[in-house]
Structure 1
Amino acid sequence: MNTPLQNGLTLLGRLALAALFLPAGLSKISGFEGTVGYINSAGLPLASVAAVIAILIEVGGGLALITGLFTRLAALVLAGFTAIASMTFHAYWAVPAEQAFMQQLMFYKNVGIVGGLLVLAAHGAGAWALGAKRNQATA
């Protein structure tokens, strides 16, 4: 049984992670053509499809983290998504020297986010979640 402090910190952690993904997904909707262009600039195929997938993952995952429903699954999907995006869009080892430092910062920031998501996937949403009863059954 978790303490109120643990449940409160888990909730704050979920909300902090969601604050990254949900607005990013929503901005991809309003700036869809720009998102497609950015994905194209990375040389990825089917940029429009990739943009829709990114929107679904970021918005759906963000909402799952906020509500605490399907938190473990959402955290795993978001961790994989973030790892792939980091390798694709923040490849600091493959950019000119004047860009490498900023891309390295972005890459390792994302590594930290992946770590937080994996901890959330391992431990679940906590008791202060809509899926708390369901999460306890699958723990």
Structure 2
Amino acid sequence: MLDTIPIQATELFSSAGAAEVFFLARLLFGATLAFMGLNHFMMTDGLAGYSEAKGIPAPRLATLFSGGLLLFGGLGVAAGAFVALAAGGLAVFLLVSAVTIHDFWAVPEDQQQDQMTQFLKNVVMAGASLAFLALSSATWPYALGISLL
């Protein structure tokens, strides 16, 4: 059986450069998702049409909602504000959209590779979201530190 050593929140970012690397990771992750969210607003018609073809109910509303979730979730993680809500919402959205929008197993063979790549991208980003969620109760360096509680 593997023993674990509890780590105090103050020790999480105590090694040299850890705070800066964690901040950079948040910026890269959050800015990418926020940009994806902006794309949902700039390309609403095309994405809503794609969502409709995938059987998503109220596709235009779903596109706008998902754009807002990506935008504010990404900004929340990057800024260190409302992290539990931001990271948790992103994890759920990314896993649901991986299965419903990027269902590579249900598309024609010539589309399978692209959809598998998109599916795996969502799964990886959901994993990162869960990691940020797990760390959401810690004090983050270079963060606004705003939360619901």
TM score, norm. by length of structure 1: 0.86
Greater shift after overlay, 44-53 or 75-84?
Answer: 44-53
Q: Which one has the bigger helix percentage?
A: 1
1:130 corresponds in structure 2 to: 144
2:57 corresponds in structure 1 to: 45
- Report sequence identity in percent: 31
**Are 2:119 and 1:107 aligned?**
yes
Q: How much has 1:121 moved relative to structure 2?
A: 0.7
Q: How much has 1:126 moved relative to structure 2?
A: 1.8
State how many pairs are aligned: 134
Q: How much has 1:52 moved relative to structure 2?
A: 2.0
| Higher gyration radius (CA) | 2
Residue type of the partner of 2:118?
A: M
Per the alignment, do residues 48 and 102 of structure 1 end up closer, same or farther by CA in structure 2, a change over 3 Å counting? closer
> What CA RMSD, in Å, does the superposition of the two structures yield over aligned residues?
1.8
Extract unaligned runs of 5+ from structure 2: 1-9
Aligned ranges 1:1-139 → 2 under 5 Å = 1=10, 2-3=13-14, 5-124=17-136, 126-131=140-145
Moved over 4 A (4+): none
TM score, norm. by length of structure 2: 0.81
Extract unaligned runs of 5+ from structure 1: none
Can you list the C-alpha shifts for 1:105-131, whole angstroms capped at 9, x where unaligned? 221122111111111110137222011
